Amino acid sequence: MNSKFQNISVEEIERRLKDAGVNPTTQRIAIFKYILCDADHPTADQIKSWADKNFPKVSLATIYNTLNVLVDAGLLRELNLPESDSVVYDKTLSEHHHFLDQQTGHLIDIEGDQIRVELKLKRQLKISEMDILLRGTQN
Amino acid sequence: MNSKFQNISVEEIERRLKDAGVNPTTQRIAIFKYILCDADHPTADQIKSWADKNFPKVSLATIYNTLNVLVDAGLLRELNLPESDSVVYDKTLSEHHHFLDQQTGHLIDIEGDQIRVELKLKRQLKISEMDILLRGTQN
DNA sequence: CATAGAATTGGAATAATTCTAAACTGGACT
DNA sequence: AGTCCAGTTTAGAATTATTCCAATTCTATG
């Protein structure tokens, strides 16, 4: 159920791109499908490595362009973890947080319903977003 | 009480450095004092700008060296916020989190006692650290 | 099928940080 | 005071992720 590796048809990918107002080009479809179906919080470089094995040519610039387009369209989120120099891309759009396994470096999504936060702020703050990063180990 | 700008004597700074096993050189004392007394979540570049006005010469490499030494000694923490390309340094060592004012870009410490988190994790995870970043606006 | 606007490309540019090798400092021992 | 040495500082080169740029290639539409 919670499988990271899904099978989504090219048609479905195209439809999602169009619905989000993104022109579904060959490169965008391929990159988006890879992220949705095969990858797990990939970096631009990991996407590039994968692309090099599966396409005649996709330039790194196109990968960055595409990722930015997808993020701007709300189809992906970018995550900037302190422990990595590279941005990783997150296909999960529902409210969620993250757990980083300090032994393996593996990043796991934690759905929003698994964390309840109670704020007792002294200041008058209007909170619009909240990022939580848990660190630790898995048994 | 919650003042960001404190007055701590050079002797006290030296003592803290020594206690943490850090050789209290002129540059380290100056930089550490600046962070503790005058700065608010500064970046290396901001420290460099300040240093340029107050010293004949402090190289940027020394600033980075010093910051790394202080972080390794547990005298500072580094924060890597998604919205900035640069690391910022945090003098507050007690458990706390952060609020980022999306209008001003200002970063505010939120003490640990103002946030209560209840975890209902499905997986068996042993949590050792938790970073929370709130975003929003101030009234 | 012509064409304009969008997408892609390779390579140069940028920016934060680290690396390197040389020069400098300051305390310990004469 | 003079020498020595480990630790520190320095300037500048190197690294790395990402963006920029100008030129080329697609693609949808008339």
The tally of CA atoms less than 13 A away on the side-chain side of residue B68 is 6
Chosen for mutation from A101, A116, A129, A132 (greatest number of chain B CBs closer than 10 Å) is: A132
pLDDT attached to residue B2: 47
pLDDT attached to residue B139: 83
DSSP character for B43? B
Q: Is 70 exceeded by the pLDDT of residue B86? A: yes
Rounded Cα gap, residues A122 and B131, in angstroms: 19
Q: Which positions on chain D have an atom < 7 Å from some protein CB?
A: 7-12, 16-21, 27
pLDDT attached to residue A101: 96
Q: Does domain A10-89 have CATH number 3.40.50.10420?
A: no
Rounded Cα gap, residues A78 and A86, in angstroms: 10
Q: What's the pLDDT tens digit per position in A57-97?
A: 899 999 999 999 999 999 999 999 999 999 999 999 999 99
Domain boundaries, chain A: 10-89, 94-136
Six token digits for residue A19: 């619905």
Our measurement of CA B136 to C1' C22, in angstroms, reads 49
Q: Is 90 exceeded by the pLDDT of residue B71? A: yes
Tokens 């300090």 correspond to A102
Average pLDDT over residues A44-56: 93
Going by C-alpha positions, the residue among B16, B23, B25, B27 that lies closest to residue B50 is B27
